[in-house]
C-alpha cells in the first residue's frame, strides 16, 4: 500500500535515499521525475502517490502524470501527454490535464515548462551563431613536438644560416652599390697579404714580450664578434669623427699593428654609414716628429 508519510519519514529524514544529494545548505533530488529538483516533502516523486512533471525529449515537451490507482503497476505508472509547441496552448493543456490537482503541482509544472521552453529557444539561437571548436590536445604529442622543436632549433643554426645568406646576397650584388667593399680579386689578394703580415707581426710581438707578463685582456677582445656588433649598430654616424681623435699612451707594441690596420682601412675607403666603427682595443694614434736639420738659410746676394 502507498503510505506516503511513512515513505517520506524513512527516505526523507531518517534513512537512505539513493536519489538524495546532500550539500551544505540544501538537499537535492536526482530523480528524473522530480519537478523542482529539491528533496522536499511535496516534491519527492517517491513520497507522493499523485504526482506530475514536465520533461523534454529532443526538443519536445511532455507532461508526465502519476496517480495512486496505478501505483501497483510500475510499467504503466507514468502517463505521458505530448504538449503543444505553442506556449499558451501548452499551458492550457497542462491546466486541463491537471484540473483538480493540488495547486502546488500545477504551479510547479507550469514553471518548469516555462523554463524548458526558454532554454530550448536559447539552444536554437546558439546553434545559429558560430561556435568555438574545442580541440583536445594530447599531452604526449605536445611533449613530443616540443622536444622535436628544440632539436630542430639546434640543428637549424639560425644565426649562421642568416649570415651566410646575407653574405651570399652581398656577393651576388643584390645590394648594388651601397656597400663599398671592393670585390676585386686584386684587393682580396691585398687583403690576404695584409692579414698575413699583420698576424706575423702580432706573433712576433707576442713572442718577445708576453713571456711571463700578466696581461689583463678586456672583455671586448674576447667577444668581439658578439658585443661589438651591438655597440656598432647604435652608433654609426658619429664614428668617423671619434676615430680621428688622438690619444697619448706609451705602448710601443701597438705601433706596427696600428699602422697596418690604419692603412688597411684607408685603402678600403669609408662607406658613409657602415664600415668598422669603433676599435675595441686601446689604440694609439702616434704622431711622428721628425727632426730635420735646419736648412741653412741661403743668403743670397
Partner 1 sequence: WKAIKYTEYPNDDLCLCPESVDSASAPVFPPTFSVSEIKNKQRRHLMFMRLKQEKRRLSLKKKRRKEREALGDEAPPKPVPKTIENQRVYDETTVDPEDEEVAFDEGTDEFSAYFNRLTNPKVLITTSDRPRGRTVRFCQQLATIIPDSHVYYRRGLALKRIIPQCIARGFTYLIVINEDRKVPNGLVLCHLPDGPTAHFKVSSVRLRKEMKRRGKDPTKHTPEVILNNFTTRLGHSIGRMFAALFPHDPEFVGRQVATFHNQRDFIFFRFHRYIFKNEKRVGIQELGPRFTLKLRSLQKGTFDSKFGEYEWVHKRHEMDTSRRKFHL
- Cell triple for residue 24? 551544505
- Give how many residues touch partner 1 by CB under 8 A: 41
In degrees and rounded to multiples of 5, residue 17 shows phi and psi of -130, 125
Residues 74, 176, 212, 294: which binds partner 1 (CB under 8 A)?
176
Q: Does 230 bind partner 1 (CB under 8 A)?
A: yes
Q: Does 190 bind partner 1 (CB under 8 A)?
A: no
Residues facing residue 27 across a β-bridge: 22
Q: Does 274 bind partner 1 (CB under 8 A)?
A: yes
User: At closest approach, how far in Å is the CB of 138 from partner 1?
Assistant: 8
User: At closest approach, how far in Å is the CB of 245 from partner 1?
Assistant: 22
C-alpha angle 257-259-261 in degrees, rounded to nearest 5: 70
Between 20 and 265, name the residue whose CB sits nearer to partner 1: 265
| Burial (CB count within 10 angstroms: exposed 0-12, middle 13-18, buried 19+), residue 19 | middle
- Cell triple for residue 87? 506556449
Between 160 and 290, name the residue whose CB sits nearer to partner 1: 160
What is the 8-class DSSP label of residue 76?
G
Q: Among residue numbers 132 through 151, which ones bind partner 1 (CB under 8 A)?
A: 132-133, 141, 145-146, 148-149, 151
Between 56 and 232, name the residue whose CB sits nearer to partner 1: 232
Q: Does 235 bind partner 1 (CB under 8 A)?
A: no
Residues 72, 153, 222, 282: which binds partner 1 (CB under 8 A)?
153
Q: Which of 79, 6, 80 is nearest to 46 (CA)?
A: 6
Residues 72, 123, 166, 222: which binds partner 1 (CB under 8 A)?
166
Q: For residues 287 and 301, what is the distance between their CA atoms, to the nearest angstrom?
A: 39
Q: Which of 100, 96, 99, 66 is nearest to 80 (CA)?
A: 66
User: At closest approach, how far in Å is the CB of 192 from partner 1?
Assistant: 11
Q: Does 106 bind partner 1 (CB under 8 A)?
A: no
Q: Which of 50, 43, 88, 45 is nearest to 67 (CA)?
A: 50
Q: Which of 121, 61, 71, 46 is nearest to 94 (CA)?
A: 61
Q: Does 229 bind partner 1 (CB under 8 A)?
A: yes
Residue 33, CB-side half-sphere exposure with 13 Å CA sphere: 19
User: At closest approach, how far in Å is the CB of 183 from partner 1?
Assistant: 7
Length of the chain: 301
Residue 26, CB-side half-sphere exposure with 13 Å CA sphere: 8
Q: Does 262 bind partner 1 (CB under 8 A)?
A: no
Residues 183, 189, 218, 222: which binds partner 1 (CB under 8 A)?
183
Q: Does 156 bind partner 1 (CB under 8 A)?
A: yes
Coil vs helix vs strand at 132 = coil
Q: Does 185 bind partner 1 (CB under 8 A)?
A: no
Q: Can you give the binding site for partner 1, defined by CB under 8 A?
A: 130, 132-133, 141, 145-146, 148-149, 151-153, 155-156, 158-159, 161-163, 165-167, 169-170, 175-176, 178-179, 181, 183, 188, 225-226, 228-230, 232-234, 268, 274, 276
Amino acid at each position: 500500500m502507498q503510505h506516503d508519510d511513512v515513505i517520506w519519514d524513512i527516505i526523507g529524514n531518517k534513512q537512505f535515499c539513493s536519489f538524495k544529494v546532500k550539500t551544505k545548505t540544501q538537499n537535492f533530488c536526482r530523480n528524473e521525475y522530480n519537478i523542482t529538483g529539491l528533496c522536499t516533502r511535496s516534491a519527492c516523486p517517491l513520497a507522493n502517490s499523485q504526482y506530475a512533471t514536465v520533461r523534454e525529449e529532443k526538443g519536445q515537451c511532455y507532461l508526465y502524470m502519476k496517480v495512486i490507482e496505478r501505483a501497483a503497476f510500475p510499467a504503466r505508472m507514468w502517463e505521458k501527454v505530448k504538449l503543444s509547441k505553442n506556449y499558451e496552448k501548452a499551458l492550457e493543456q497542462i491546466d486541463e490535464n491537471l484540473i483538480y490537482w493540488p495547486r502546488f503541482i500545477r504551479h510547479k509544472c507550469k514553471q518548469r515548462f516555462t523554463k524548458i521552453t526558454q532554454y530550448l529557444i536559447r539552444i536554437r539561437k546558439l546553434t545559429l551563431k558560430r561556435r568555438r571548436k574545442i580541440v583536445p590536445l594530447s599531452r604526449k604529442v605536445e611533449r613530443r613536438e616540443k622536444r622535436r622543436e628544440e632539436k630542430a632549433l639546434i640543428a637549424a643554426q639560425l644565426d649562421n644560416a642568416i649570415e651566410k645568406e646575407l653574405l651570399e646576397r652581398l656577393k651576388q650584388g643584390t645590394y648594388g652599390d651601397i656597400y663599398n667593399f671592393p670585390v676585386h680579386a686584386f684587393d682580396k689578394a691585398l687583403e690576404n697579404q695584409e692579414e698575413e703580415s699583420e698576424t706575423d707581426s702580432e706573433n712576433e710581438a707576442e713572442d718577445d714580450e708576453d713571456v711571463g707578463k700578466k696581461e689583463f685582456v678586456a672583455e671586448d677582445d674576447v667577444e668581439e664578434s658578439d658585443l661589438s656588433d651591438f655597440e656598432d649598430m647604435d652608433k654609426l654616424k658619429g664614428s668617423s669623427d671619434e676615430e680621428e681623435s688622438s690619444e697619448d699612451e706609451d705602448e710601443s707594441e701597438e705601433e706596427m699593428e696600428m699602422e697596418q690596420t690604419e692603412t688597411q682601412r684607408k685603402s678600403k675607403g669609408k662607406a658613409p654609414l657602415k664600415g668598422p666603427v669603433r676599435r675595441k682595443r686601446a689604440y694609439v694614434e702616434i704622431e711622428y716628429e721628425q727632426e730635420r736639420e735646419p736648412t741653412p738659410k741661403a743668403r743670397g746676394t
